[in-house]
Amino acid sequence: MTSGVAALWSHRNSLRILVRRDLAVKYQQSVLGYFWSLIEPLGMGAIYWFVFGVLYSRDTGRHLGEAAESYPLFLITGIFAWMWTSSALSEATNALTGQSRLITTMNVPRQVFPIGRVTGRFAEYAAGLPILIAIAVIYAAHGRIHPGWSLLSLPLAVLVQAVLLTGLALLLSAWNVLMRDVERLMRLIIRVLFYATPIIYPLSLVRESSLPDWLKVVYELNPLVGIFQLHHAIWYPDEFPDARLLATTVGGSLLVLTAGWWSFRRLEPAVLKEL
């Protein structure tokens, strides 16, 4: 794995070129261009705010605590991070099948292609950070949030999420070449993950629910739970994951990265033969 990382680093310029090409191709015939990466999560945030912040505001406010007064910020924070997750997983799954000609002709580590999809979607997430910060500044000016040291949660959340998504991208892209059902299965899993992760609701809602204890434990084994808690903790320090959840999140993400890298290297000969 060390040698693979070194080879990937030596071809970082190729990775940058692939990311720029993917972004250019994605928006080249779009009038609004990169603004679509902002419009979609903002639109989703407005819909969920209307449902849970207006129609069911009484029930929502009871579980959100101090985040109830700034629920739109809570929503947008989670949805922006979720768009990076869902887009990266969807596009990384067919990163090899959709670029077979480049893969068989370019002399670069094949990991570049799925990792490039994760990096490209991170660029879209980073483009939305100024809007997220502007919304946070407005709420902070009105005394509805009190960010401080918790702002350090942002680089930690991004790092752990990047590790997890890279591992999943390597794993899914390789398996999808050999079993095309993976792409269809991921569409279902991504939909389930959205509601099985504390994005539009707080983790306390699950912990205080009547679900069996074993199911709550299984729920928190999902590394995305701790990752999104870190994202929410940027503005709401009380949402910072406890030591057990943080260890589960970091350990699980590293385990997924190791498994993804190992599987990709093991399957690479069969993948190249199939392509």
Q: Is the pLDDT of residue 57 over 80?
A: no
Predicted pLDDT of residue 30: 62
| Angle ∠(206,210,212) on CA atoms, nearest 5 | 90
Q: Mind listing the pLDDT tens digit for each residue in 65-102?
A: 666 678 889 999 999 999 999 999 998 888 888 777 77
The alpha helices in the chain, defined as continuous H runs, are 2-10, 12-27, 36-48, 57-64, 71-93, 100-105, 112-141, 153-178, 181-195, 203-207, 213-220, 223-233, 243-274
Rounded Cα distance, 94 and 260, in Å: 15
Report yes or no: 172 and 89 within 8 Å, Cβ to Cβ. Answer: yes
Predicted pLDDT of residue 84: 93
Q: What is the mean pLDDT of the chain?
A: 84
Q: How far is CA 240 from CA 26, 103, 157, 166, 226, in A?
A: 35, 41, 11, 23, 8
pLDDT, mean of residues 89-117: 81
Report yes or no: 114 and 92 within 8 Å, Cβ to Cβ. Answer: yes
**Which one of 28-37, 95-104, 201-210, 231-240 scores highest in mean pLDDT?**
231-240
Predicted pLDDT of residue 41: 81
Domain ranges of the chain: 4-274
